[in-house]
């Protein structure tokens, strides 16, 4: 029914009751309540559809296209970071062999590698990539609520990436301050890029990244809160949406700390202010700085930096929950508890940041406080792990490629979490600080684990994005090499760390406490790292090949319940749902409902047979 007509009906119906105050009400059409008909669809706004190739594929305001743009850009720069890790491994495994890497370059490699992996790859991919694709589809919206701002978000992100990449070509090369960028060293001449362009370019790029992220992030939050379709209550949202939503709220609160820290350091470097710079002597000369606090930077950095771990982990938690439920054909165990655990972890992770500063010389009682809060996070985290295991328990487990990655994530995350318990305790952390043990820990928990989810997620949703399945044989090969390889790379690093091998060292030399076995192990790790790295090429090949030659997937190849699998077209068209928005009648986990015909009931399937036992309202 056209809008004017329906308004007419509305007026007539309202008038006798005396509620009509004369004008046509433009807010909140209660028409369907009166007429008892499902809601008329929001009138198609013609202007909003793309008109040309440019606005369809390049300057697109469609969240699905923006998602793919984010994912491709993040993967491209992520590949750069991967290559940088090879160079580091070449140096560490075979010191003295590769003369093109000098000590300064090694520092530049770790800095760029770390920063790209954490921010430009993982954060961008989970929020900009998965967030953009999945949020509107999963909540039953046509798009993000501010599509234009969403588009700008991507372009600013791309600019941030290009600025970052430009530092490889800047005079003096990229900064070598370490991904933590601690002042004063980050802006002094002893550090690569400190008195050249490197640090300036890095800070500028971070500032741009945060601006771009904020534009996207506001979209994700408002879309989840305001654009859910009828029946999609918060407690019916798939856990993927809960994870991405909570992570976005966290990022909106955490990134500003990095933002101000970056601006202040930029001022210190470029304008000669002393926010973070104490009075110091540099190369025998009293520097121009004085009175600033390097510790203040550490607080700001880690106020962002610790939540950042969970900005990456919470989307992973959410996605894994959905993958497990789908491929074990079972409802997620303890849905409400899972939601609250996500929210609790998100909140708690704002009061633990100084566990990264145990060796900064802070007041010991502070260490005690931060150790306590850190260990408390283990509780909601353990709840999640138990619930995943209970979801799997007696499930009809299909070892599809996405499922393999999801299971591998759980194992790896538990693994990394356990070493986190070590490092969370001050007395254990102090001797392990700045050793390879730390490198092993954080690669397990926020390097390998989230990457496994990214890969699992791509295998899961590629069919929706392209309409074709990824090749399964190649997928399984990719999985096993990546999963086993990751353990061969990062497990021995714990041992190296316990021996006392320091991190961020170009070369170990012949220190007495470092046995020959450490050198052998380093060479072994490097060989595996290169092999695993090359195995990713199989994955890239699969992505490209399947685009043309993959088996057509149909709309719902995994027989899943959530809304993105119920779109009228695959890949979904602009506006996602054709004429009618879906209406949601149930939660996202109606798998293997006793008495139901199929082993899954889509969220938008009305409870026609009320007699179906066990179906959740
Ligand atoms: C492809 C597998 C990877 C390999 C072989 C690898 C290797 C390395 C190496 C050798 C270092 C330097 C260690 C040192 O000398 O201190 C390093 C540092 C680091 N990596 Fe990775 N890495 C990989 C993946 C990742 C991923 C996925 C992340 C995402 C979180 C990541 C984040 C970091 C960070 C934050 C640092 C610290 C940089 C610093 O000390 O400033 N890495 N990695
Ligand atoms: Cu932390």
CA torsion sign for 72, 77, 80, 81 is negative
**Predicted TM-score (pTM) of this structure:** 0.90
List pLDDT tens digits, range 126-179: 999 999 999 999 999 999 999 999 999 999 999 999 999 999 999 999 999 999
Q: Which residues contact 58 (CB under 8 A, 6 or more apart)?
A: none
User: Measured between alpha carbons, how far is 442 from 460 in angstroms, rounded to an integer?
Assistant: 26
Per-residue model confidence (pLDDT) at position 578: 86
Q: Which atom of ligand 1 is nearest to the CA of 111?
A: 41
Decide if pLDDT at 316 tops 90. yes
The verdict on residue 254 lying in a domain is: no
Q: 33-42, 288-297, 350-359: which has the minimum mean pLDDT?
A: 33-42
Residue nearest to atom 43 of ligand 1 (CA): 85
Decide if pLDDT at 423 tops 80. yes
Per-residue model confidence (pLDDT) at position 396: 95
Of all residues in the chain, the percent with pLDDT exceeding 70 is 91
**Residue 376 Cα, ligand 1 centroid: separation in angstroms?**
27
Per-residue model confidence (pLDDT) at position 513: 86
Q: Which atom of ligand 1 is nearest to the CA of 115?
A: 35
User: Measured between alpha carbons, how far is 82 from 117 in angstroms, rounded to an integer?
Assistant: 8
Based on the structure, what is the number of domains in the chain? Answer: 1
Domain that holds residue 372: 316-553
**Residue 113 Cα, ligand 1 centroid: separation in angstroms?**
6
The verdict on residue 495 lying in a domain is: yes
Residue nearest to atom 42 of ligand 1 (CA): 447
Per-residue model confidence (pLDDT) at position 41: 55
- At 99, is the pLDDT very low, low, confident or very high (cuts 50, 70, 90)? confident
Top pLDDT among 4 and 186 is at: 186
**Residue 302 Cα, ligand 2 centroid: separation in angstroms?**
7
Closest ligand to residue 451's CA: 1
The verdict on residue 463 lying in a domain is: yes
| φ and ψ at residue 218, rounded to 5 degrees | -60, -40
| φ and ψ at residue 284, rounded to 5 degrees | 80, 0
CATH of the domain at 518: 1.20.210.10
Per-residue model confidence (pLDDT) at position 23: 41
**Residue 451 Cα, ligand 1 centroid: separation in angstroms?**
13
Decide if pLDDT at 6 tops 80. no
Q: Which of 82, 111, 439, 489 to mutate to test the pocket of ligand 1 (most atoms within 8 A of CB)?
A: 439
**Residue 177 Cα, ligand 2 centroid: separation in angstroms?**
19
User: Measured between alpha carbons, how far is 53 from 615 in angstroms, rounded to an integer?
Assistant: 45
Angle subtended at Cα 582 by Cα 581 and Cα 584, rounded to the nearest 5 degrees: 140
Per-residue model confidence (pLDDT) at position 363: 83
Per-residue model confidence (pLDDT) at position 53: 87
93 near 85, Cβ under 8 Å?
A: no
Per-residue model confidence (pLDDT) at position 26: 43
List pLDDT tens digits, range 468-504: 999 999 999 999 999 999 999 999 999 999 999 999 9
**Which residues are near ligand 1 (CB < 6 Å)?**
82, 85, 88-89, 92, 110-111, 113-114, 117-118, 122, 178-179, 439, 443, 446-447, 451, 489, 503-504, 529, 533
The verdict on residue 65 lying in a domain is: no
Per-residue model confidence (pLDDT) at position 466: 97
Find the mean pLDDT for residues 541-546: 98
List pLDDT tens digits, range 101-121: 999 999 999 999 999 999 999
Per-residue model confidence (pLDDT) at position 8: 40
Closest ligand to residue 420's CA: 2
- At 98, is the pLDDT very low, low, confident or very high (cuts 50, 70, 90)? confident
The verdict on residue 180 lying in a domain is: no
Find the mean pLDDT for residues 309-338: 97
Residue nearest to atom 36 of ligand 1 (CA): 114
List pLDDT tens digits, range 81-92: 999 999 999 999
**Displacement of CA 433 from its chain's centroid (Å):** 26
Which residues lie near ion ligand 2 (Cβ < 5 Å)? 306
Per-residue model confidence (pLDDT) at position 174: 97
Q: Which residues contact 130 (CB under 8 A, 6 or more apart)?
A: 67, 240, 244, 315, 319, 457, 461
Closest ligand to residue 302's CA: 2
Q: Which residues of 146-172 are buried (b: 16+ CB within 10 A; e: fewer)?
A: bbebbbbbbebbbbbbebbbebeebeb
Q: How many CB atoms lie within 10 A of CB 465?
A: 18
The verdict on residue 290 lying in a domain is: no
237 near 224, Cβ under 8 Å?
A: yes
Per-residue model confidence (pLDDT) at position 17: 37
Find the mean pLDDT for residues 18-24: 40
**Residue 464 Cα, ligand 1 centroid: separation in angstroms?**
32
Residue nearest to atom 17 of ligand 1 (CA): 110
Residue nearest to atom 28 of ligand 1 (CA): 447
The verdict on residue 437 lying in a domain is: yes
Residue nearest to atom 11 of ligand 1 (CA): 110
Per-residue model confidence (pLDDT) at position 5: 42
**Residue 443 Cα, ligand 1 centroid: separation in angstroms?**
7
Angle subtended at Cα 578 by Cα 572 and Cα 583, rounded to the nearest 5 degrees: 100
The chain-wide mean pLDDT, for the chain, equals 91
**Residue 557 Cα, ligand 1 centroid: separation in angstroms?**
36
């Amino acid at each position: 029914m056209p809008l004017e007509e329906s308004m007419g009906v509305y007026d007539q119906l309202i008038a006798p009751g005396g509620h009509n105050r004369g004008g046509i009400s433009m807010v909140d059409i209660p028409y369907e309540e009166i007429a008892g008909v499902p809601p008329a669809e929001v009138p198609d706004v013609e202007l909003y559809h793309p008109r040309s190739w440019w606005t369809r594929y390049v300057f697109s305001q469609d969240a699905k296209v923006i998602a793919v743009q984010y994912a491709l850009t993040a993967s491209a720069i992520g590949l750069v970071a991967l290559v940088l890790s090879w160079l580091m491994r070449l140096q560490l495994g075979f010191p003295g062999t590769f003369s093109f890497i000098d000590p300064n370059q090694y520092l530049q490699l770790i800095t760029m590698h770390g920063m790209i992996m954490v921010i430009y790859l993982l954060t961008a991919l989970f929020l900009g990539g998965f967030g953009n694709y999945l949020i509107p589809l999963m909540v039953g919206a046509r798009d993000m609520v501010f599509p234009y701002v969403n588009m700008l978000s991507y372009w600013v992100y791309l600019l941030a990436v290009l600025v970052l990449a430009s530092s490889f070509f800047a005079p003096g090369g990229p900064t070598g301050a370490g991904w933590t960028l601690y002042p004063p060293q980050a802006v002094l001449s002893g550090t690569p890029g400190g008195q050249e362009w490197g640090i300036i370019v890095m800070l500028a790029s971070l500032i741009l990244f945060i601006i771009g992220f904020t534009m996207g992030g506001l979209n994700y939050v408002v879309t989840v809160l305001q654009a859910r379709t009828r029946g999609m209550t918060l407690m019916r949202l798939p856990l993927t949406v809960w994870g991405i939503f909570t992570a976005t709220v966290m990022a909106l609160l955490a990134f500003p700390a990095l933002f101000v820290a970056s601006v202040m350091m930029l001022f210190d470097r470029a304008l000669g202010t002393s926010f973070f710079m104490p009075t110091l002597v540099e190369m025998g000369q009293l520097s121009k700085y004085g009175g600033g606090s390097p510790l203040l930077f550490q607080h700001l950095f880690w106020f962002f930096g610790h939540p950042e771990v969970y900005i990456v982990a919470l989307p992973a938690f959410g996605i894994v929950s959905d993958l497990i439920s789908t491929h074990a054909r079972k409802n997620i165990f303890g849905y409400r508890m899972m939601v609250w655990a996500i929210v609790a972890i998100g909140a708690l992770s704002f009061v633990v940041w100084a566990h990264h500063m145990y060796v900064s010389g802070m007041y010991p009682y502070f260490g005690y406080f931060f150790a306590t809060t850190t260990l408390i996070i283990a509780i909601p985290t353990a709840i999640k792990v138990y619930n995943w295991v209970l979801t799997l328990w007696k499930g009809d487990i299909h070892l599809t490629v996405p499922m393999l990655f999801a299971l591998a994530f759980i194992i790896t995350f538990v693994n990394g979490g356990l070493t986190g318990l070590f490092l969370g305790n001050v007395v254990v952390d102090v001797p392990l600080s700045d050793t390879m043990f730390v490198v092993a820990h954080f690669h397990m928990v926020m390097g390998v684990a989230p990457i496994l989810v990214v890969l699992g997620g791509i295998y899961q949703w590629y069919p929706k994005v392209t309409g074709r399945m990824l090749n399964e044989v190649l997928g399984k090969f990719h999985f096993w090499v990546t999963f086993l390889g990751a353990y061969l790379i990062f497990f021995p690093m714990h041992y190296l760390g316990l021996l006392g091998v320091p991190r961020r060292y170009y070369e170990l030399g012949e220190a007495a406490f470092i046995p020959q076995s450490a050198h052998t192990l380093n060479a072994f790790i490097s060989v595996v790292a290169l092999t695993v790295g090359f195995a990713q090429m199989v994955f890239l090949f699969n992505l490209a090949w399947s685009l043309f030659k993959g088996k057509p997937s149909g709309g719902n190849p995994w027989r899943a319940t959530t809304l993105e699998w119920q779109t009228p077209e695959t890949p979904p068209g602009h506006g996602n749902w054709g004429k009618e928005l879906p209406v949601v009648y149930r939660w996202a986990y109606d798998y293997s409902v006793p008495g139901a015909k199929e082993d899954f009931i889509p969220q938008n399937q009305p409870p026609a047979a009320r007699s179906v036992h066990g179906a959740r309202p």
